[in-house]
Structure 1
Amino acid sequence: MPFSTAAAKLEVGSISDTIKQQADAIVNATVPLITPLLNFLVLTRDGDVLYQATAGTRQLGSLEPLRFNDIFWLASHTKILGVMSMLKCIDMGLISINDSVLTHLPDLAQEQVRTDPNDPNSPTRPRVGDITVRNLLTLTSGTAYPVVDFLATLNPTEIVLDPKPFFPSNASVYQGSHAADPNLIWRYGAEVDWLGLLVEKISGISLGNFIQTHILTPAGVPPSDFTFTLDAEQTARCVGQHVRVNDTLVVPRPPIYNHANIQFESAGAGGFGTINALGQALLPIINGGRHPKTGKQILSPSIVKKMLQPQLSEIELNNGLNQPSQASKDGGVLFPGVPKQWGLGALLFPEGFAHTGRGDGTLAWAGFTNVNWHCDNEKGVVILAWSQLIPQDDPVFNNNTRYPIEKIVYDAIGNNYF
Structure 2
Amino acid sequence: MRRPLSFVALALALMLLTASTAIADEPPASPEVAAALQPYFDQHKIAGVISIVADRTGKVHYRNLIGHADVEAGKPIREDNVFWIASMTKMFAGASIMMLVGEGRVRLDDPVTKFIPELNKWMVVEERDDSHLLLKPPVRPVTVRHLLSHTSGLTGSSELQQTTGADSASLKARAISSVTGPLQWHPGDKYKYGNQGMNIAARIVEIVSGQPYEEFLQKRFFDPLGMTETTFWPTEAQIARLAGAYGPNKDGTGYTRGDVGFLTKPWSDRTRRYPEAGGGLFSTTHDIFRYGLMLANDGELEGKRYLSSKAIKELQTVQTGATGVNYSLGYHLRNGMFGHDGAYGTDLSVHPETGMVAIFMVQCTSGDQWAARDLFLKTASQIFPK
Check whether TM > 0.5: yes
Deviations 1:321-356 (A, max 9, x none): 3xxxxxxxxxxxxxxxxxxx222322223xx2xxxx
1:47 to 58, 74, 79: 58
1:210 to 189, 193, 216: 216
Considering only CA atoms, is the larger Rg found in Structure 1 or Structure 2? 2
- Partners of 2:346 and 2:293 in 1: how far apart? 17
1:264 aligned partner = 274
2:331 aligned partner = 346
TM norm structure 2: 0.78
Alignment of 1:74 onto 2:85: yes
Where 1:58 maps in the other structure, the secondary structure is strand
Kept in 2, the 8 Å contact 1:375–1:383? The answer is yes
2:4 aligned partner = none
Aligned runs of 1:237-256 on 2, under 5 Å? Answer: 237-244=241-248, 248=252, 250-256=255-261
Q: Percent identity?
A: 23
Aligned runs of 1:391-402 on 2, under 5 Å? Answer: 394-395=367-368, 397-399=369-371, 401-402=372-373
Residue 250 and residue 298 in structure 1: after superposition, are their counterparts in 2 closer, same or farther (change >3 A)?
same
Displacement, 1:298? 1.0
Alignment of 1:303 onto 2:303: no
TM norm structure 1: 0.72
1:356 aligned partner = none
Displacement, 1:137? 2.2
Kept in 2, the 8 Å contact 1:218–1:298? The answer is no
Displacement, 1:368? 1.2
1:84 aligned partner = 95
1:180 aligned partner = 185
1:335 aligned partner = none
- Partners of 1:50 and 1:216 in 2: how far apart? 25
- Partners of 1:402 and 1:258 in 2: how far apart? 27
2:13 aligned partner = none
Residue 233 and residue 385 in structure 1: after superposition, are their counterparts in 2 closer, same or farther (change >3 A)?
same
* Cα root mean square deviation, aligned: 3.2
Unpaired segments ≥5 residues, structure 2 = 1-23
How many residues matched?
344
Kept in 2, the 8 Å contact 1:88–1:214? The answer is no
1:230 to 229, 234, 237: 234
Return the letter of the residue paired with 1:263: R
Residue 177 and residue 295 in structure 1: after superposition, are their counterparts in 2 closer, same or farther (change >3 A)?
same
Kept in 2, the 8 Å contact 1:242–1:390? The answer is yes
Displacement, 1:30? 4.3
Choose 169-178 or 260-269, whichever is displaced more. Answer: 169-178
Displacement, 1:147? 7.0
Return the letter of the residue paired with 2:184: A
Kept in 2, the 8 Å contact 1:70–1:237? The answer is yes
Residue 409 and residue 113 in structure 1: after superposition, are their counterparts in 2 closer, same or farther (change >3 A)?
same
Choose 197-206 or 34-43, whichever is displaced more. Answer: 34-43
Return the letter of the residue paired with 2:362: S
- Partners of 2:277 and 2:87 in 1: how far apart? 8
Deviations 1:29-49 (A, max 9, x none): 644743112122222111221
Unpaired segments ≥5 residues, structure 1 = 1-12, 152-165, 322-340, 353-360
Residue 62 and residue 107 in structure 1: after superposition, are their counterparts in 2 closer, same or farther (change >3 A)?
farther
Aligned runs of 1:381-400 on 2, under 5 Å? Answer: 381-390=356-365, 394-395=367-368, 397-399=369-371
Alignment of 1:374 onto 2:349: yes
Residue 137 and residue 118 in structure 1: after superposition, are their counterparts in 2 closer, same or farther (change >3 A)?
farther
Kept in 2, the 8 Å contact 1:98–1:134? The answer is yes
